[in-house]
Amino acid sequence: MPCTVVICGFFGDTGKGKVNSYLSLKDRIAVAVRAGVGPNAGHTVVYEGKKYKMRVLPSAFVYDKCHLLIGAGVVISPEGLLQEIQLTKSEGRVGVDPQCAIIESRHIEADKAGYLAEKIKTTGSGTGPCNAERALRMVKLARDVPELEKFLTDVPLEVNVAIDEGKNVLIEGTQGTYLSLYHGTYPYCTSKDVTASAACSDVGVGPTKVSDVIIVFKSYTTRVGAGPLPNELSWEEAEKRGWAEIATVTGRRRRAAPFSYELARRAVMLNGATQAALTKIDVMFPECKGVKSYEGLSQKARDFIEKVEREIKLPVTLIGTGPDALEIVDRREEFRKD
Ligand code: GTP
Ligand code: IMP
Ligand code: MG
């Protein structure tokens, strides 16, 4: 499929990093472009025995022929970006939109104190205050930063040309549907819309160019920061079930709850999703760890997956069976033939 958008259907941290890294390798993605808010995201990518915690570069970096772009909608910390480029040795294949907004120290300070830190419990990465300043049309842009000059490129042009040439393009959304400024649990949300349509806008791709929207769910629900979480469990109960997670960016505990069919159904609608990915099936059903075929999953796991499919009225085409990029069941072919 030439242009695929990957988006989260819950509150972020559903494993988009893993899904995107798998897709880049399997589909030989030519161009991956990062959408979403900015370095408030933390994607974990595990590949060839190494674990990477990415904040801004596309998780598709694991496929070494993939061109890695950052869309204008994203706000960036130049230092963090340069570190990730170094860490992944990707200098020759990174492009940044000249109109990405730049996070400065005053944004981080404003994000770490008062209302944002205490009531909303933001990540403290400066993304909200930076976006606020962008809306006031006073923010610094990537084109104003000499260290970024060699990476600047016309991102919308590169992405649209790749799509028109029939190459595989991946648009990497971040955060999650219910963290959207418009459709999420306001005011407990992030600083912009993060649904699939917003991801396309972030990178300069029109809605008619998208062939698939993959919505990523985790087999249970988690949320970091303040705001409602239906059927939230105590930390002790989450620990007992193996659902007790620690946030990648802030080191905070992730609050946990069982899979919410209601939230999932609405997220499918809000994103116009065409297929779903379901991660961490191995956490719910440990016997599924590392399994790579649907038949290899236990009956209980398959019953759960089929219930999800009935409830959300979409095929679950990708099933995560472990943290590694290649620990996955891929049923896309099966559904393509049907
Ligand atoms: P945001 O953009 O911050 O929302 O993050 P994300 O969706 O990229 O997810 P993140 O990497 O923050 O969290 C997912 C965690 O689950 C990471 O530690 C992954 O390594 C891990 N993970 C992803 N898929 C699976 C899976 O199928 N099984 C297991 N056991 N772990 C997984
Ligand atoms: P901000 O995006 O840093 O302004 O934080 C606003 C809310 O979104 C807080 O509840 C954060 O915990 C949450 N949030 C922002 N980015 C992510 C993410 O990538 N994963 C999970 N939660 C996030
Ligand atoms: Mg995360």
Residue 333, pLDDT score: 94
pLDDT in tens, the chain (338 residues): 599 999 999 999 999 999 999 999 999 999 999 999 999 999 999 999 999 999 999 999 999 999 999 999 999 999 999 999 999 999 999 999 999 999 999 999 999 999 999 999 999 999 999 999 999 999 999 999 999 999 999 999 999 999 999 999 999 999 999 999 999 999 999 999 999 999 999 999 999 999 999 999 999 999 998 999 999 999 999 999 999 999 878 889 999 999 999 999 999 999 999 999 999 999 999 999 999 999 999 999 999 999 999 999 999 999 999 999 999 999 999 998 55
43 is catalytic: yes
* Measured distance CA(219)–CA(245) in Å, rounded: 13
Ligand 1 nearest-atom number relative to CA 328: 27
* Measured distance CA(5)–CA(196) in Å, rounded: 7
Angle between the N-to-C axes of helices 261-271 and 299-312, in degrees from 0 to 180, rounded to the nearest 10: 50
Residue 190, pLDDT score: 98
In angstroms, the first-to-last Cα distance of the chain is: 16
pTM, to two decimals: 0.98
Residue 128, pLDDT score: 98
* Measured distance CA(1)–CA(315) in Å, rounded: 16
Nearest alpha carbon to residue 10 among 257, 251, 332:
257
183 is catalytic: no
- Cα angle 259, 243, 196 (rounded to 5 degrees) comes to 50
Mutation probe of ligand 1 site: the residue of 13, 22, 246 with most atoms within 8 A of C-beta: 13
For the chain, list the domains and their CATH numbers: 3-337 (3.40.440.10)
Task: List pLDDT tens digits, range 105-131.
Answer: 999 999 999 999 999 999 999 999 999
Residue 181, pLDDT score: 98
Measured from the alpha carbon of residue 38, the closest ligand is: 2
Cβ neighbours, 10 Å, residue 73: 27
Measured from the alpha carbon of residue 174, the closest ligand is: 1
Nearest alpha carbon to residue 40 among 130, 100, 160, 136:
130
Instruction: Give the sign of the dihedral formed by CA 276, CA 282, CA 287, CA 291.
Output: positive
| Residues framing ligand 2 (Cβ under 6 A) | 11-13, 37, 40-42, 120-123, 125, 127-128, 174-175, 179, 188, 190-191, 224-225
